[in-house]
Structure 1
Amino acid sequence: MTKHPSRESSEQPSAQDDLAEIALTDDDILEAMREIPGYLDITTMDFRAVYRLAHRHAIDRLFSGIAAVAWLNQWFFVGTDLTLAIGSLGASAVLVFGAVRSPLAQPRNLIGGHVLSALVGVTCWQWLGDEPWLAQSVAVATAIALMHLTRTLHPPGGATALIAVIGSEQVHAMGYLFVLLPATLGPLVLLIVALLFNNLPAARRYPEFWL
């Protein structure tokens, strides 16, 4: 078995990352492995097995985070005027479980992005609710600007701001409680699960930074 490539060299982004997923042939895999410094002495079947296992582990982590939020929502908030599960948490789960090294997936961004965006969204609804189109556009634009200003950019935060404006009467009735629940507690649940599952493999570390 020859030496594995360094972590830095294996994680350099390339233009191929932006292409849609296509079926890989054995020749594709062999040619790719030959381009790696310190050619890996494995078969194409080994490669496919590793890929399938890695994909399954990624899906398991993603499932665990959303499952925790959904379970808490079902057992503690269904039947009340409160909610824990909102659509933007699904996008957050993709980041914190599927792109753990991204700056956008770190705790500061995960929590701060949702909290600030929820605060902006609720405020825009209360002040500009008579003009929904204006409230929606101002909420998202302001949330983006505020996240940039505070270094808490988290793309799903824009959806949280929008949900605060276009949400149901139940969401609107929560007022600024929406900032606490679900916009703070929901991401906190994802963070706790991410800390547990993302750090199980020795080769993975989460978070990259806290503040």
Structure 2
Amino acid sequence: MLKIFFKKMQGGGLSPARKPFTKILWSWLGAFIGIYLVSIVSELSQVNVLNSLFLVGSFGASAVLIYGAPDADFSQPRNLLGGHIISAFIGVSIFKFFPLDVTILGALAVSFSIVAMHFTRTLHPPGGATALIAVIGSSELHNTGYMFVVTPIATGAIILLIIALFINNLSNNTKRHYPKYWL
């Protein structure tokens, strides 16, 4: 039984080929513009820029998905928006209503976010980071309460989505389009 367990870890397939240079270039352009705009909006809306910059962390992972793998289910608009918003709400709620150690709160926020994203069909891996940020963030972040869900999370996700809609559909390649679906 142990032998079978470890055999599963060997894999069996080959690594996929590198994407064409044009796809890499479009991915770079979308990620640059999207993250830059989120950072600018964060800078303009926050009193202390250093406290707002770490919020871009989960958006960095979203950028990889929506610009680098726009066809993936995790990258679709409902996943991007729903995953971040649901996870932010859960993270804020867990921190607000459970007087436990931050290590337990972080684990609860991420695990409940995964469950909620599964049930709502909005699974977006960076949402787990968003839930964790809501728990481990600064006291300044915690003082914003549920406004954290609206800004920077919903606002940032919408900015990334708008840029993804624009950039991913600029290419002349008919196979590169975004999104695959909305609902």
Query: What TM-score results when the alignment is normalised by the length of structure 1?
Result: 0.73
Paired with 2:16 and 2:110, the residues of 1 have a C-alpha distance of 26
Paired with 2:98 and 2:132, the residues of 1 have a C-alpha distance of 13
Kindly indicate whether residue 67 of structure 2 is the aligned counterpart of residue 97 of structure 1. Answer: yes
Structure index of larger Rg: 1
Kindly indicate whether residue 29 of structure 2 is the aligned counterpart of residue 60 of structure 1. Answer: yes
Q: Pairwise mapping of residues 5-154 of structure 1 onto structure 2 (< 5 A)? A: 15-17=13-15, 51-79=20-48, 83=52, 85-154=55-124
CA distances 1:46-66 after superposition (whole Å, capped 9, x unpaired) = xxxx94444333212211111
Question: Paired residue for 1:210?
Answer: 182
- The secondary structure found in structure 2 opposite 1:15 is coil
Compare relative contact order (CA 8 Å, sep 6+) and give the higher one, 1 or 2: 2
Paired with 2:26 and 2:165, the residues of 1 have a C-alpha distance of 15
User: Greater helix percent: which structure?
Assistant: 2
What letter is aligned with 1:141?
S
What letter is aligned with 1:134?
I
CA contact (8 A) 2:91 2:134 kept: yes
Alignment equivalent of 1:201, drawn from 161, 171, 177: 171
Paired with 1:53 and 1:101, the residues of 2 have a C-alpha distance of 16
Question: Paired residue for 1:159?
Answer: 129
Q: Pairwise mapping of residues 177-196 of structure 1 onto structure 2 (< 5 A)? A: 177-196=147-166
CA contact (8 A) 2:35 2:56 kept: no
Paired with 2:142 and 2:84, the residues of 1 have a C-alpha distance of 17
The unaligned stretches of length 5 or more in structure 1 are 1-13, 22-49
- The secondary structure found in structure 1 opposite 2:15 is helix
The unaligned stretches of length 5 or more in structure 2 are 1-11
Question: Paired residue for 2:9?
Answer: none
Paired with 2:150 and 2:168, the residues of 1 have a C-alpha distance of 25
Paired with 1:164 and 1:151, the residues of 2 have a C-alpha distance of 21
Question: Paired residue for 1:11?
Answer: none
CA distances 1:114-133 after superposition (whole Å, capped 9, x unpaired) = 00000100011012244212
Please report how far the alpha carbon of residue 18 of structure 1 lies from its aligned counterpart in structure 2 after TM superposition: 6.0
Please report how far the alpha carbon of residue 78 of structure 1 lies from its aligned counterpart in structure 2 after TM superposition: 4.3
CA contact (8 A) 1:129 1:165 kept: no
Please report how far the alpha carbon of residue 79 of structure 1 lies from its aligned counterpart in structure 2 after TM superposition: 4.3
- The secondary structure found in structure 2 opposite 1:87 is helix
Please report how far the alpha carbon of residue 83 of structure 1 lies from its aligned counterpart in structure 2 after TM superposition: 4.2
**Percent of aligned pairs with the same amino acid:** 43
CA RMSD in angstroms comes to 2.4
